[in-house]
A and B are shown apart, each in its own frame.
Chain A
Amino acid sequence: MSVLVMREVSRDHGAGPNLVHALRGVSLHVEAGEFVAVMGPSGSGKSTLLNLAGGLDRPTGGRVLVEGVDLSTLGKAELARLRRRSIGYVFQDLNLIPALTAAENVMLPRELDGVRTAQARREALRALEEVGVPELADRFPDEMSGGQQQRVAIARALVGERRLMLADEPTGALDTATGEEVMRLLRARCDAGAACLMVTHESRHAAWADRVVFLRDGVIVDATGSPAGPESLLEGAR
């Protein structure tokens, strides 16, 4: 099943002589278990695409569906609930709350969602375990390295079985080795069934995805296609 469907999505900013088409009729599917990277020069519409996919912005044309739900049919509160329950975000600037420990940061979206504290903590510890930093649970962000903070941010994006991960330059401030660890984590989440859409300008990181989509001037200009599996080899033979 497609976890994310974008159908002929457009986003305009401004009007009249200042009208800018940030996205122009972009169609994109991300299946469960699939990892898709978006590349393109700055100003090509990458971040706009990600914001629309995550319901942080609304399209001026076309439809966005997350787990089969058309985001345009949702009211503000419903949209916020869907964002908390189905979508995990990983940003370049990690957005951890400095006054909260790692576990509390990870618990936050679950508690906002009405989950009891004890249950939210159990889930948070499991998520921290999954990203390999259970020992950081009671540390504050300023007591962690950049790589550790990014792991905690990913744990927060994973907690509560969210099926769509959106990542905007998730390795931005990290060195090559730590960046690779982050990519291994995202890859493992996809192999375990999550769908991931990642914006990056680093080909080294985009290469961890199943598919790379190239945006230019708000239009998809090219895509790598998925790696050759047995089915696609058969297709080639036909």
Chain B
Amino acid sequence: MHTAYVSIRHGLLALLSQGPRYGYQLRAEFEASTGATWPLNIGQVYSTLSRLERDGLVTKGEADAEGRFVYNITPAGEEEVRRWFTTPVARADRPRDELAIKLAMAVTTPGVDVRDVVQAQRTATLRTLRDLTRLKADAPAVPAGPAESAWRLVLESMIFQAEAEVRWLDHCEAFMTRIDVGFRPAVRVADEPPAPEPSAPAPGRTGERR
């Protein structure tokens, strides 16, 4: 995918801006910083490095005694890293959102209960959120070093995304309940004792769903 390729390319460049490194070192450091969230295979590292070399952003040094090559960043590469850090990531680069498409289809497809689609997704996302939170809970409250801090930020990014998805699902449910499309009749708010109700119940709302 385009986005993934771009972020590996810039990730490796950013590591090289800290000093010369071997290919296997780059892979290990990339994974340590991102908590092995996006594992790289060594082939990806070398193919990315040869494209960076072709574009004049890195140079390959002489082979050492064990036949390994050290890579160095060029001034053009340094400039590229600076540009990357100061340019926001465009939302349009993100892949299509399957869940949004599914919800949109659920609303327009007869016989599909949107609430059930929402609930199934919410449970699954909450499970993911719990597993991510468990990772955070098991780590010390204060990260021990830069690599651990970096990993924590990546973890928080996934936690915030899962949380945003649940909030959006809550919103979808409330929104659909309000406009009452594709839903079974809503039951009256039940937490509080009912206020004296002068008007008759709205037609079509029998108060029974199942």
Residues 148-202 of B at the A interface (beta carbon under 8 Å): 159, 162-163, 166-167, 170, 173-174, 177, 187-194, 196-197
Main secondary structure of the interface of B (DSSP, over half): helix
- When the two chains form their complex, are residues B194 and A204 in contact, meaning their CB atoms are under 8 A apart? no
- When the two chains form their complex, are residues B193 and A212 in contact, meaning their CB atoms are under 8 A apart? no
Contact pattern, B 107-135, Cβ under 8 Å of A = 1, otherwise 0: 00000000000011011011101111110
Main secondary structure of the interface of A (DSSP, over half): mixed
- When the two chains form their complex, are residues A184 and B137 in contact, meaning their CB atoms are under 8 A apart? yes
Tell me whether B141 is interfacial, beta carbon within 8 Å: yes
Total number of residue pairs linking A and B with CB closer than 8 Å: 96
- When the two chains form their complex, are residues A221 and B130 in contact, meaning their CB atoms are under 8 A apart? no
Tell me whether B209 is interfacial, beta carbon within 8 Å: yes
Q: Contacts A203-B166, A204-B159, A221-B119 given: A212-B126 contact, CB under 8 Å?
A: yes
- When the two chains form their complex, are residues B130 and A187 in contact, meaning their CB atoms are under 8 A apart? no
Tell me whether A208 is interfacial, beta carbon within 8 Å: yes
Residues 175-222 of A at the B interface (beta carbon under 8 Å): 184, 187, 201-204, 206-210, 212, 214, 216-218, 221-222
- B contact residues around A214 at 8 Å (CB): 119, 122-123
Contact partner, B163, options A187, A203, A210, A216, Cβ 8 Å:
A203
Tell me whether A230 is interfacial, beta carbon within 8 Å: no
Tell me whether A150 is interfacial, beta carbon within 8 Å: no
The distance in angstroms between the C-alpha atoms of A49 and B119, with both chains bound, is 20
The distance in angstroms between the C-alpha atoms of A184 and B137, with both chains bound, is 7
The distance in angstroms between the C-alpha atoms of A184 and B93, with both chains bound, is 36
Q: List 12 A-B contacts (CB under 8 A).
A: A13-B193, A20-B190, A22-B190, A22-B191, A23-B190, A43-B189, A43-B191, A43-B192, A45-B191, A208-B137, A210-B130, A222-B123
Excluding A20-B188, A218-B187, 14 further A-B contacts by CB distance (< 8 Å) are A13-B192, A17-B197, A18-B197, A22-B190, A23-B190, A41-B174, A42-B189, A43-B189, A203-B162, A204-B163, A207-B129, A207-B132, A214-B122, A222-B123
A-B pairs, top 9 by smallest CB distance, nearest first, are A43-B189, A203-B166, A13-B193, A207-B133, A207-B129, A217-B187, A207-B130, A22-B190, A18-B194
Q: Which residues of A contact B (CB under 8 A)?
A: 13-14, 17-18, 20-23, 39, 41-48, 184, 187, 201-204, 206-210, 212, 214, 216-218, 221-225, 227
